[in-house]
Amino acid sequence: MPNVGDPAPDFSLPASDGKTYSLSQFRGQRHVVLVFYPGDDTPTCTAQLCDYRDGWDEFQKLDAVILGVSTNDMTAHKKFAEKFSFPFPLLEDKGNQLCKAYGALMLGGLLPVANRAVFIIDKQGVIRYRHVETIPIFKRSRAELLDELRKIAA
């Protein structure tokens, strides 16, 4: 699992908005808030992503983009994104490669799923914040993430 101060593993994944996103496309331009979550349209995941949606303007003012990641399929991502009007894309990690690269794969159920985790990656591609939940019913608040982004900008 990469730690704070390590270069962030790059990726290229399809998203709910029909585009493909890679970490390298934001290098030198935007901070990336990479949000791993277990399931589309589930109570905790919905509360978490709606919290970030409601602070979208604040994230933008801090030169940050949010990318949601789970192992759910694209059909579920599109329905979830449309239902809650997320202004950020939801990436499909079909083969679990991104979850594995970031140490955010939860095993133990019938199928492996993304664990709830947040990584903030600065404009140079370095991990500046990392939090992997020990119990996935907990989540990081928008306020906490914005505070971390402000520290990076200072």
DSSP letter, residue 37 = -
Give the span between the Cα atoms of 69 and 11, in whole angstroms.
Answer: 11
Give the three-state DSSP class for 58: helix
Q: What is the DSSP string of 72-126?
A: S-HHHHHHHHHHHT-SS-EEE-TTSHHHHHTT-EE-SSSS-EEPPEEEEE-TTSB
**Catalytic-role residue among 45, 65, 91, 149:** 45
Q: Is 45 a catalytic residue?
A: yes
Q: What are phi and psi of 106, to 5 degrees?
A: -100, 120
Give the three-state DSSP class for 18: coil
Give the span between the Cα atoms of 47 and 79, in whole angstroms.
Answer: 16
User: Which residues belong to the active site?
Assistant: 45
